[in-house]
Chain A
């Protein structure tokens, strides 16, 4: 890689790696694995850098590598440690329903979701991607995104109850 490309790549890493690591962490639920995923994705991004040209394309490319690598890792893994379960995690004790407890509780519930549902929810509601962008990132059809998000939210509601304010099923603005 020529020096000018390397400098712009380093700028991209400095600006966006933290955000990418946070999203990766929400997808996989493990700090070390998230860091490894981002590291691996950045190696691929570095290789593709001359043809990516603008930072937006680079971020989308890196996010897609993270997502597809994470899902491939999920497929390879037996997933025994975090197998989806219908049993909700322990409900927070009464009187501790503050923000920290809410967050920890929701986090535990999110980790109960099947990986593809969790990835779809993170991309839609944390990364604010459209359904089409989510489908592109997950390398699947828009219909698959809809079904994964719907199933994930339904399960999340079942796990956390109705108290938690969840986003509507769809918040995309449709214009005609």
Chain B
């Protein structure tokens, strides 16, 4: 026997005829994985993009149509989602007349984006086009996103201004859309709207700012390297959830919660676990929710053992035990009020919207989703995320 181990192994392997991989199956399986991720990614819209220059120029956009002024509060206790051109909002359905690719709620209605990136206001007065969004680079790809304050009447997006990309904010209470210029070519990064204040990164001015959307007055939250590495995931009632050292295209190994960038408590996730950046604070800022990825080993590789929807006390970090069905894939969607959270739950042969209450953790089915809703790219969650890829 003079053959080496290597050549014997080569001969053994070469003696076998393998079937080629099934590319169609790979495409189908990958599509299902993308859908799962989209369900997660759609939640990431708590992060937003917006920017205002130091001398923020506030422009009043001429309305192409009569403004859709409405002040009737929308019942916000029902779960919400959209399929096709229909918004499901609690017990009612709203036909908006265009395919909904992104959706955010406000206190008086919704704001949507269609397949052509046209932005619409949806209220009891009807459906009105209020602008056009553009895709901005994020994590190596480009997204169109909507942002809103569900307890207020404002919704925002990135649009095109006279000379650059601008943050545009529509007020459903007045019917006006304002544009906020950044004074540079780099696209703004819109983080969130909270109580008539927008949070964004202004790359040309190398800072992260909070801007009063009524007056244009701004407050700088971070500058220089700190601003470049700062990502704000959610702002509610003045409480911020953010990361100071987030890696591009990475999930979160820790988050910070506080009322300022420099005075915040850091929560670190356990070893071999990371959170999606779709971290959402409750309206009062007392609770936070996110989707946790538990890996079989070091999380740098795509080897997820489990997806866990978690809710924690934003002050103490105490974990709330949720009574969601098992096995299932549950995604926290949106807070309906300070103590009620909407979940999308996918399980064997079923898809449901659940509502869970904190701190008790009890959960109930709020709606059964039709099979068509969870196939393809049909289901749109009220998180502002784009489902049009």
Q: Which chain A residues have a beta carbon within 8 Å of chain B's beta carbons?
A: 1, 6, 10, 13, 17-18, 21-23, 25-26, 31, 34-35, 38-39, 42-44, 46-48, 50-51, 61, 64-65, 68, 72, 97, 99, 102-103, 106-107, 110, 121-122, 125-126, 128, 139, 156, 163-167
CB nearest neighbor in A for B13? A22
Instruction: Find out whether the CB atom of B301 lies under 8 angstroms from the CB atom of A34.
Output: no
Cα distance A17–B23 in the bound complex, in angstroms: 11
Q: Are B30 and A47 in contact (CB under 8 A)?
A: yes
Given contacts A46-B30, A65-B303, 15 further A-B contacts (CB under 8 A): A1-B34, A18-B18, A31-B18, A34-B18, A43-B26, A46-B26, A46-B27, A47-B37, A68-B296, A102-B3, A103-B11, A126-B9, A126-B10, A165-B2, A166-B4
- Given A125-B5, A165-B3, does the pair A35, B18 have CB atoms closer than 8 Å? yes
Min CB gap A24→B, angstroms? 9
Bitwise, B231-261 to A at CB < 8 A (1) or not (0) is 0000000000000000001000000000000
Q: Are A167 and B11 in contact (CB under 8 A)?
A: no
A-B contacts, 9 of them at CB < 8 A, read A25-B16, A35-B18, A39-B26, A43-B25, A43-B26, A46-B30, A48-B302, A97-B1, A165-B2
Interface membership of B14, Cβ < 8 A: yes
Q: How far is the CA of A107 from the CA of B5 in the complex (A)?
A: 10
| Contact A47-B297, Cβ < 8 Å, known A13-B21, A22-B18, A163-B1 | no
Neighbour of B302 across the interface among A21, A25, A47, A164, CB < 8 A = A47
A48 to B25, CA, bound (A): 16
- A43: chain B residues within 8 A (beta carbon): 25-26, 29-30, 33
Q: Is the CB of B3 within 8 A of A167?
A: no
In the complex, B92 has a CB within 8 A of chain A: no
Indicate which residue in B10, B12, B29, B301 contacts A65 across the interface (CB closer than 8 Å): B301
Q: In the bound complex, what is the Cα–Cα distance between A4 and B30 (angstroms)?
A: 16
Shortest beta-carbon distance from B14 to chain A in Å: 7
A40 to B365, CA, bound (A): 33
Q: A18-B18, A39-B21 are in contact. Are A125 and B30 (CB under 8 A)?
A: no
Tally inter-chain residue pairs, CB-CB below 8 A: 109
Q: Determine if B141 is an interface residue (Cβ-Cβ < 8 Å).
A: yes
Closest to B11 in A: A103
Which A residues lie within 8 Å of B97 (CB)? none
A26 touches B12 (CB 8 A): yes
Of residues A17, A26, A44, A128, which shows the largest number of chain B Cβ atoms within 10 Å of its Cβ? A44
- Chain B residue numbers with a CB within 8 Å of A38 are 21
Q: Chain B, 275-309, contact with A by CB distance < 8 Å: what is the 0/1 string?
A: 00000000000000000000011100111000000
B301 partner, pick from A46, A61, A163, beta carbons under 8 A: A61
Set of chain B residues within 8 Å of A163, measured between Cβ atoms: 1
Residues of A within 8 Å of B22, CB to CB, are: 39
Q: B185 on the interface (CB 8 Å rule)? A: no
A residues less than 8 Å from B296 (CB atoms): 68, 72
